[in-house]
Amino acid sequence: MDIIRTVREMQQRALAEKRKGRRIGFVPTMGCLHAGHLSLTKLARDHSDLVVLSIFVNPIQFLAGEDFTRYPRPVERDEALCLQSGVDVLFYPDGAQMYAPDHSVFVEETLLSGGLCGASRPGHFKGVTTVVAKLFNIVLPDVAVFGQKDAQQLRVIQRMVRDLNIPVEILPGPIVREPDGLAMSSRNQYLTPQGRQDALCLRRALEHVEKRVREGECRVETLRHEIAVILAGVPSACVDYIEFVDNETMMPVSRMERAVLVALAVKIGSTRLIDNIVLPVP
Averaged pLDDT for residues 22-45 = 97
Q: Binning pLDDT at 50, 70 and 90, where does residue 258 land?
A: confident
**pLDDT score at 150:** 96
Asked if residue 155 lies in contact with residue 116, where contact means CB atoms within 8 angstroms, the answer is no
Does the pLDDT value for residue 264 go beyond 80?
yes
**pLDDT score at 153:** 98
Asked if residue 30 lies in contact with residue 57, where contact means CB atoms within 8 angstroms, the answer is yes
Return the CATH superfamily for domain 186-277. Answer: Pantoate-beta-alanine ligase, C-terminal domain (3.30.1300.10)
Adjacent-strand bridge partners of 203: none
Return the CATH superfamily for domain 2-173. Answer: HUPs (3.40.50.620)
* Cα–Cα distance measured from residue 66 to residue 185, given in angstroms and rounded to the nearest whole number: 16
Q: Binning pLDDT at 50, 70 and 90, where does residue 177 land?
A: very high
Residue spans of the domains in the chain: they are 2-173, 186-277
* Cα–Cα distance measured from residue 229 to residue 209, given in angstroms and rounded to the nearest whole number: 12
Sign of CA dihedral 198, 78, 35, 150: positive
Taking all residues of the chain, what is their mean pLDDT, rounded to a whole number?
96
Q: Binning pLDDT at 50, 70 and 90, where does residue 282 land?
A: low
Asked if residue 112 lies in contact with residue 152, where contact means CB atoms within 8 angstroms, the answer is yes
Asked if residue 264 lies in contact with residue 205, where contact means CB atoms within 8 angstroms, the answer is yes
Percent of the chain past pLDDT 70, that is, above it, reads 100
Q: Which one is catalytic: 34, 37, 47, 225?
A: 37
Does 37 participate in catalysis according to the annotation?
yes
**Number of helices and strands in the chain (H, E):** 10, 9
Q: Binning pLDDT at 50, 70 and 90, where does residue 250 land?
A: very high
Percent of the chain past pLDDT 90, that is, above it, reads 95
Question: Per residue in 216-230, pLDDT tens?
Answer: 999 999 999 999 999
Lowest mean pLDDT among 84-88, 113-117, 256-260: 256-260
Question: Per residue in 76-103, pLDDT tens?
Answer: 999 999 999 999 999 999 999 999 999 9
* Cα–Cα distance measured from residue 71 to residue 94, given in angstroms and rounded to the nearest whole number: 15
